[in-house]
Amino acid sequence: MHVWSVDSEPDEAVSRPRHPIAVVSERTGLSQDVLRIWERRYRAVAPTRAAGGERLYSDADVERLRLLDAAVGAGRRIGRVAGLPTADLAELVAEDRVAKDRHAAPAPAGSGADTTFIETALERIQNLDARGLDELLRRSAAVIGTPAFLEQSVVPLLREIGGRWHTGRLSIADEHMASAVIEAFVVGAIQTMAVPDSAPRVFVGTLPGSRHVIPVALVGAAAAAAGWRPVFLGGDLPAAEIARAAISGRALAVALSVVYTDDIGRTLSELRQLRERLPAPVAVVVGGRAVLPHTRALERAGIEVGETIDGVRTFLHNLGGTSR
């Protein structure tokens, strides 16, 4: 792979290294984990080091990173574009934008949460119609594609199931049956996503006190859609065990889900322990509504927070899945 180079000598101000990684993260929208991995793994940019070892980026580095982010956002693999000269990269991004504008079309009706699907699913759940629910899931996924279906339909359905269970509008039996069918569907859906053995590994699971495995199965599906090979660790695992498994399994990332916790202090402590136990190149991303209020604190600890399943998928895609 060629290290990037500009075609003409930039002026001194543009090439002078003066931005720390936190500033570059803010200006590009890329997390610090992504910036480090793009540098180490793909040699996308070559920041200098201050006397204390701090990375310093130039304006030219920042602009190049913005272009790389745009290329990846258009669907290109970071491993395929990281070695391009900046001028070629800018041309490629411009072409992608023109193509996107040319083929842009209004979103189809019902592209958000499908209320008809949710109403039908709830009716089958209340009738304890496991086979009917499974058929509905499979048929609906075939219409819009599995990744979009999981984000747009399954996630809202799970929220509705949870809300009705908490208010007594769904019985325990209803909720358990629905959870079993949906979990089996999501795990099966991952197996239909062809991910090569050579794909980077991401270990997925939940922390102590959290036994909700469907959300983390959704994270696994998002990872597979981003070109990663998910390894399921299950639920209710201490940080030390997750770290041990990730290190021995040569994971490049760990993705967790925290939908609910009755002890947020303990959960945050476990997350910090996990980050401390893992090697720096191994990224940590966590999703789930329980951690969203603590996003800033977690990001300061080097942990990425994905607000949605698609947010986790985008983060992993930016890290670099399999080249195709």
CB-based burial label for 88 (10 Å; 0-12, 13-18, 19+): middle
DSSP state of 292: G
Question: Each residue of 220-263: pLDDT tens digit?
Answer: 888 888 888 898 888 889 999 999 999 999 999 999 988 778 88
Instruction: Look at residue 84 and tell me whether its pLDDT is greater than 90.
Output: yes
**pLDDT tens for residues 61-80?**
999 999 998 888 888 888 88
Task: Indicate the CATH number of 12-103 among 3.30.470.10, 1.10.1660.10, 2.60.120.620, 1.10.760.10.
Answer: 1.10.1660.10
Do the domains at 115-192 and 201-319 have one common CATH topology? no
Backbone angles phi, psi at 206, to 5 degrees: -125, 160
302 Ramachandran zone, left/alpha/beta (phi>0; psi -120 to 50): left
| Count of C-beta atoms within a 10 Å radius of residue 147 | 19
Token pair for 212: 């909700």
- Residue 180 has a pLDDT of 92
* Domain-wise residue ranges, the chain: 12-103, 115-192, 201-319
Phi-psi label, residue 128: left if phi above 0, alpha if psi -120 to 50, beta otherwise: left
Taking the alpha carbons at both ends of the chain, their separation in whole angstroms is 16
pLDDT over 70 (residue 132) = yes
> Looking at the DSSP assignment, which residues form a beta bridge with residue 304?
285
Superfamily of domain 115-192: Methionine synthase domain (1.10.1240.10)
Q: pLDDT of 280-321, one tens digit each?
A: 889 999 988 888 899 889 988 889 888 777 778 788 888 875
62 exposure class (CB count in 10 Å sphere: 0-12, 13-18, 19+): middle
List all residues 6 or more positions away from 20 whose beta carbon is below 8 Å from its beta carbon: 54, 55, 56, 57
Q: What whole-number distance in Å separates Cα of residue 143 and Cα of residue 297?
A: 40
Q: pLDDT at position 145, please?
A: 81
- As a whole number of Å, the CA-based R_g of the chain is 21
Query: Could you tell me the fold of the domain covering 201-319?
Result: Rossmann fold (3.40.50)
